[in-house]
Amino acid sequence: MRFLRYITSKCDNYLREYTPTLHQRAPAFVQLTRLDKPIGVFLLLWPTLGALWIAAQGFPGFKLLIIFLLGTWLMRSAGCAINDYADADFDGDVLRTEARPIVTGKISRKEALLTFLLLSALGFVLLLFTNLLTIQMSFFAVFVAALYPFMKRYTHLPQLVLGIAFSCGILMAFTAARGELPAEAWLLFVANCLWTVAYDTQYAMVDREYDLRIGVKSTAILFGSADRVIIATLQGMYLLAMLLAAAQFQLGVWVYLGLAVALGLFVWQWQITKTRSPEDCFKAFLNNHRVGAAVFAGILTHFLLN
């Protein structure tokens, strides 16, 4: 609680100092937190909601639903802020990121860091309405989320770190709904990690040319010419892990239909990325929103009809 009071005090001082100009720079903060690009929220939200429904064996109740909806939005936005803080020295050299607000001077690195801390603190407040185990797990989740953007300096596997960060909500959904973490929940965790590495590799393929030039590491660089084959393998492993999870949780035919739709979308991604052009790789990445929606729709329909 002392840490929370410290963060609150810092953010209060910041707001007092900058409130007269914040409304003028609101578009820059929207850009910083990617509110204008909700794809990241969806990619984080679908598997988390799916886990929440499975953990509660149906509708989890409005309290938990609101906590996880708002928490997902807050933490994805916080993650974007710390990502831009970490990448401030690189973004100006990459075509896709050269207009980000820190690069253009619309927002300072200090403001981006304070934005991360403020949004994380708000997310923590939401979790105070759950239970102790979920609160304890949130510290690890925030740590991994903050660690991810710095890992591309040291390892070619930052996408794996992102996969762990994006999958913590699955485990927290179970602890919030059940007060415990069953072993089967780890199947969903592993599945989501595999899927995240696959689609974030597609995302990294967009910037591969620039990353090679500036020395940033990624799985897209690590996989090289085998990138599409490894992505397809990861996607296949994701589907297998989800099938095992569906069997463990005794989910029905609607979930299998959702996974069949996901398979069809993966095939489409395989086809469109043949040229490896940045535009097509980005389209494939965005398509994963539909993958997550299809799988969640299958889970939701299962519980609605049973």
Residue with tokens 């990445």: 285
Residue with tokens 């799988």: 295
Q: How far apart are CA 121 and CA 114, in angstroms?
A: 10
Q: How far apart are CA 288 and CA 197, in angstroms?
A: 12
Distance of CA 242 to the CA centre of its chain: 18
Q: In this structure, what DSSP letter does residue 124 have? A: H
Q: How far apart are CA 78 and CA 32, in angstroms?
A: 9
How sure is the predictor about 89, in pLDDT bands with cuts at 50, 70 and 90? Answer: confident
Q: Can you give the pLDDT at residue 16?
A: 59
Q: Can you give the pLDDT at residue 131?
A: 96
Regarding predicted confidence, which is higher, 8 or 162? 162
Of 20-24, 139-143, 168-172, 184-188, the range with the lowest mean pLDDT is 20-24
DSSP string, 182-205: -TTHHHHHHHHHHHHHHHHHHHHH
pTM for this prediction: 0.91
How sure is the predictor about 98, in pLDDT bands with cuts at 50, 70 and 90? Answer: confident
Domains defined for the chain, CATH in brackets: 2-304 (1.10.357.140)
